[in-house]
A and B are shown apart, each in its own frame.
Chain A
């Protein structure tokens, strides 16, 4: 199918970047002071004698040269083997699969939230441009953008979890409650409300601004004036004609922001104790677990490439002129 062929081509085109990222990160991490055995000894509180430490280094594969380690890593990667995690003692692919759902859930929820409300408020602001709804929305948007996300997250926990007790203070779901089916979904949803809000608010501000600017630009175009002159209903004009065109920059932005969102999830997952990839990556850096970190980088790069690809597909749908091109 054409879509699959396109996807394949896109992936092939991204391989050089992927390679640069992985090899670059690997070499960069060799410069970090201390290795994963040092991190383990820090956790143990000391007391390991030299023989044990040497054994540990051999156990983690750190006793061979850097070039040999890199070679081994790349050779495993070609066979799609992401290696063994030093922290977890499990294959990296297993570890990532366990942590992926939380991150995917958080990212898609935040993205949907930001996109939907960004669209909505952007349209409202554009329709009432320079009047008070516009000013309020634009100002609020900027305030959300400028607020440090972790600060907002912590304050939200204090207000909603501790004082009001409306929402849980962290975690992904209630442990050992034995919930199933819809009750479980509702439980997980309640755990994700605050994290989604925290991560989504920044992007909401961005989408709001872009949507507003884009709407304003499109509204000045000829075809809109023509439609108005024809006497078409304003709402119809907006929904059938303007939105389609105005949404293009929004959609592009999704692709551009995918990587940033993943980075932002590190802090949000820390504050809300969510078992996601962001926090896993941070742990991997601190504990010098190269295999896990590179695995996450690999997966997130694939994710970004995937999202950009989907964005291009949607783009082609929205603007048929583009589909005629090379896609």
Chain B
């Protein structure tokens, strides 16, 4: 409860949370408001928002309802954000934990690999993955996760490096606890908070990366994602700019919400930095 009170001290964090709830709400009620497949031909293409009362946000170049795509797209964006982030954070934590706990040559090897991934421009690696493995949504999500794990890995490693020499770890060792237990039951819970907070950054970046892929027409064409809409709208940017603008705003607000929530979490979990 004190956590919530800490959290709600920042108006920005509260705004972020509200925005995020709106996005989640859109995702949850998408089938209720728009039961048809959002990729169906709904009407004449390129109608302006408000021109036809049936289409709140108008139609895109393929004659599809933009409002339907925004609502259903919320699911896709949240899915992308959550799954890609989970993959990145999980892989990152595992690698960082092992590297930080054992040190020595294990650490060296793992850090070389991490460094390799960080030196390579991640969008480039993403392009290569998509060219090879295709543009299906799952593939794109896994690829985004696969290029985003280095930072959580380094964070986790740093935490482990500092925590493993603490007294309570020594105590666990003398008690005869196995390494795996020490890592997962003792150290990890203490190392997690900064990584969890960073996860919000990973999520924001994941959503932006997918939209950049869609802009280059490399994302999954079988789902109604916001990025795909922006990519479509690129061809009618000068006159029917709303086709790109509306999903652009949706992405902006979602990424904003995620970032604000992340910042709020950070401030709430580190109260000594707050209250300036």
Contacts and interface: CB of A to CB of B under 8 A. Distances in A.
A263 B123 contact: yes
A264 interface: yes
B101 to A, nearest CB: 22
Interface in B227-276: 230, 234, 237-238, 241, 244-245, 248, 251-256, 259-260, 273, 276
Interface residues of A, number: 55
B115 A148 contact: no
Interface string A133-146: 00100110011011
A243 interface: no
Interface string A154-179: 11001000100000000000000000
Interface residues of B, number: 43
Nearest to A146: B255
Interface stretch (A12-20, A54-62, A183-191): A12-20
Nearest to B151: A256
Contacts of B204: 145-146
B270 to A, nearest CB: 11
Contact of B124 (A138, A143, A151, A263): A263
4 closest A-B pairs by beta carbon, nearest first, are A263-B123, A263-B121, A146-B255, A262-B121
Given A14-B115, A31-B132, A148-B230, A264 B123 contact: yes
B276 A304 contact: no
B138 interface: no
B6 interface: no
Contacts of B131: 32, 285-286
Interface in B118-172: 118-124, 126-129, 131-133
Given A29-B128, A32-B131, A142-B259, A300 B121 contact: yes
Interface stretch (B47-55, B77-85, B207-215): B207-215
A146 B252 contact: yes
A304 B252 contact: no
A112 interface: no
23 contacts: A20-B116, A31-B132, A32-B131, A32-B132, A130-B276, A139-B12, A142-B256, A142-B260, A145-B204, A146-B256, A148-B215, A148-B248, A150-B215, A150-B230, A151-B244, A154-B237, A158-B237, A162-B238, A216-B273, A286-B131, A293-B128, A297-B124, A300-B119
Interface of A: 14, 16-18, 20-21, 24-25, 28-29, 31-33, 129-130, 135, 138-139, 142-143, 145-151, 154-155, 158, 162, 213, 216-217, 220, 256, 259-260, 262-264, 266-267, 270, 281-282, 285-286, 293, 296-297, 300-301, 304-305
A145 B255 contact: yes
Nearest to A32: B132
A259 B119 contact: yes
Contacts of A17: 112-113, 115-116, 119
Nearest to B121: A263
Given A17-B112, A259-B118, A151 B248 contact: yes
B105 to A, nearest CB: 12
B263 to A, nearest CB: 8
Given A146-B204, A148-B230, A267-B212, A220 B276 contact: yes
Contacts of A135: 12
B216 interface: yes
A155 B234 CA distance: 10
Contacts of B259: 142, 145-146
A25 B122 contact: no
A151 B245 CA distance: 8
Contacts of A31: 132-133
A216 B276 contact: yes
Contact of A267 (B132, B216, B256): B216
B40 to A, nearest CB: 26
B120 A259 contact: yes
Nearest to B238: A158
B91 to A, nearest CB: 16
A31 B143 CA distance: 15
Contacts of A32: 128, 131-132
A164 B164 CA distance: 60
B237 to A, nearest CB: 6
A261 to B, nearest CB: 8
Given A129-B276, A259-B121, A282-B127, A28 B230 contact: no
Contacts of A142: 256, 259-260
A21 B120 contact: yes
Contacts of A145: 204, 255, 259
